[in-house]
Every structure is written in structure tokens, then in C-alpha cells.
Amino acid sequence: MKQNNKKTICVHAGQKQDEYKGINTPIYTSTSYGYLDTEDRFYPRYFNIPNQRVLIEKLAQLEHAENGLIYSSGMAAISTTLLSLLNSGDHIIFQKGLYGGTVNFVFLDFERFGISYTILPDNEPETMIAAIQENTRIIYVETPSNPILSIVDLKMVSDICKSRNIISVIDNTFASPFNQNPIDFGIDIVLHSATKYISGHSDISAGAVLSSNEMIDRIHETSLNFGGTLNALMCHLLERSLKTLAVRLTQHNENAQVLADWLDANSKIKKVYFPGLKSHPGHEIARNQMMGFGGMLTFDIGGIDSFQFQKNLQLIKPSMSLGGVESTICSPALTSHRHLSDEQRKLDGITDNMLRLSVGIEEVDDLIRDLEQALG
């Protein structure tokens, strides 16, 4: 049978049949399961209860992965994955300009675990190759990146890693499985903060890792000890959310493109960061490796008071997270990247007047009117 379209996978993949013929997967709330007369040992911390497995099967099909694990947050997925694959004495390379939580984790914890790292000054292939050491085990990227939406060539990263027996890891949160499938370009491990687009309704905290069976088996061993699992009810709600991923992201993509074009043409806006703009330095790469440019954009409002601008908004909500059906806006310097030093934010190109806009699924003309009146 021909591979199903993503819209169909979102709705049907992984669903477990209800014995009473209900069309939704039942919620298995038990934290204790029988073990006599069976080889199976079901337990929420083992990442194998029915609602966890149903959710992972759907996500794995969407990401073209063999298997996966679901966690209680995106940072649980990131930290558990990296600490599963790195040992004392190992080295890891990070691209320039990552999510602030990831960078903060590296700064706070890697040294005490004896793990060395390099954060690249730019994302050019020559720079990446030059940073590789004899003990380099992982190259970690994030594209589009948070918050300036820089684009990294996934095939380039994969080729570099495979030629040197290095594991490639990507945070695919901003793109979502609907807009980008890094495994198709040879990337080994895909991470998500499922709190964002996979949830889509600003009401669930979760994370996911998708990869080959071999990689997931390695990560699973450490995951058992770290215990960052997700309960059955939250898995059920995420499965429900994934059923509308395709229709939500289609609208996110369309609205973000319209707003990016409008902001880019507005003389009051200093700069717009969005891979769907032809002026974006990574536009052609993004066009080749993404099915849509996503619902995230960032803009610098120059001399305008960014704090007052956010207060002036009536429809768009100043809020710290992203990926929900409602449009939200935040200052990365005060939220996602607040733990970084002023110097580090400057190196990453993050200014105090930079605002990250998570474009929702509202009528786009209403969003334009709101931005227009807030600008004054």
C-alpha cells in the first residue's frame, strides 16, 4: 500500500482499537500492570504503556523514524539524549545561535560531567569541519533556530557526520514534523519540544526524541534512570493534538508569510528574520529542505520601546512560549535567552529590541491591524 499522506498519518497512525469500538484510543491510567504469564513489563517510567506507544508510533511515522521516546518536557528530551550518548572525555559541537535553555544546560552541566564542547562562531561547513576533534561524538544543530531563525544545511551536516562517524542531532521544534523531516537528509536523531507545535494549544508540556531503533535503545537505558516520562492522560491529549497538526501548520505557515512580508515592508521595522523571505540568507536552503517555512518570525523594532509595544497589543498576547493556535509575542532577551550573558546574546545576534512572534491561526488581517495600532 502506498505511504499515507501526512494529513492522514496525523489522524490515523498509531491509534489503538477500543474494545467497545470507540474511535479514540482509550486512556490507560494504570501505573501498575500484571506481569505473570507474560514477557511484557509495563510501567510508565519504562516508556512502554499503551498511550505512550500510540503517540510515539504517530510521531515516528510523521518524522520517518523507526522509534522514539516521549518525555515530560523538551529539555528532558534534549538533556537525556545528550547525556545518554556522551561520556566524560567526549566532545560535542553546537551550531551558532541555539535555544537559550539548551545553551544554559551546556554552560551549567557539561564541565562537571567532563564533557567538552565547541559553540561555532558561524555555521559554515568549513568552520564546522575545523571544529571537529578526535573525541568529537555529536554535532548538534537547530534549524530554523530560536530566535533568529538561522538555517543550517541538513544534508551538509549529515555528510560531515557520516564521513567521520559522528552522530548528528537536531532540535526540530520550530519546523515541526509537518514542515521538515531531517531524517530524510541523513540526520540521526530528531528532538522536539512537544510543548510547542505538536501540542499546539498551550496546555501540555512534553518532549520527544525520534531516531533508529538502535539509537533509541541507547537513549532508553539512561531515560529509565532519569525518569522524565509522560503520563497517559498527557499522551492522550498530545495524540488528540497531532490529529490537527496538518491543518494547524498549514494556517500557521500562510499567516506567518503574510505577516513577514508586511513587517518587511514597514519602514518602522528595522529587520525581519523569516526563512520565507527571499532576502533571508538561508532562504534557498530552507526552500529545499522544508515543506513550509513555519509559523515563527522575529523582528527588530529598532528605536521603538519593545516593552510598551507589547503592552499596546490587543489581540496578540505577550507570552513566553510558542506554537499555539493563538498568536503570542515575547522578547527573547527577557525570556528564552534571559539566562545568557549580555555578551553571549550579542554574539548570537539577540538585541533588546528583538521580538519573537509565534503566529497563530487567526484571521491574518486582524493580526496586521493589531501590529499596526501597536506601532502607532
| Grid cell locating 314 | 490587543
Q: Is 171 a catalytic residue?
A: yes
Residue 140 annotated as catalytic: no
The whole-angstrom distance between residue 31's C-alpha and the CA centroid of its chain comes to 29
**Catalytic residue of the set 28, 71, 90, 99:** 99
User: How many CB atoms are closer than 10 A to CB 106?
Assistant: 20
Distance of CA 278 to the CA centre of its chain: 23
In degrees, to the nearest 5, what angle opens at C-alpha 246 toward C-alphas 68 and 364? 135
Query: Helices marked H in 265-323 — which ranges?
Result: 283-289, 306-312
CA distance 252 to 291: 13
Report the interhelical angle of 74-85 vs 213-226 (nearest 10°): 110
Helices first, then strands: H and E counts in the chain:
14, 12
Is the omega angle on the peptide bond into residue 318 within 30 degrees of 0, that is, cis? no
8-state DSSP, 15:
P
**Helix 50-63 / helix 232-242 crossing angle, nearest 10 deg:** 30
DSSP state of 16: P
Q: Which of 196, 243, 248, 356 is catalytic?
A: 196
From the candidates 90, 171, 188, 264, give the one annotated as an active-site residue. 171
- Whether 45 sits among the annotated catalytic residues: the reply is yes
CB 147 within 8 A of CB 103: no
Mark whether 99 is an active-site residue.
yes
From the candidates 7, 45, 271, 287, which is the catalytic residue?
Answer: 45
Is 206:21 a contact under the CB 8 Å cutoff? no
Grid cell at residue 22: 470507540
Q: Report, as residue numbers or ranges, the catalytic residues.
A: 45, 99, 171, 196
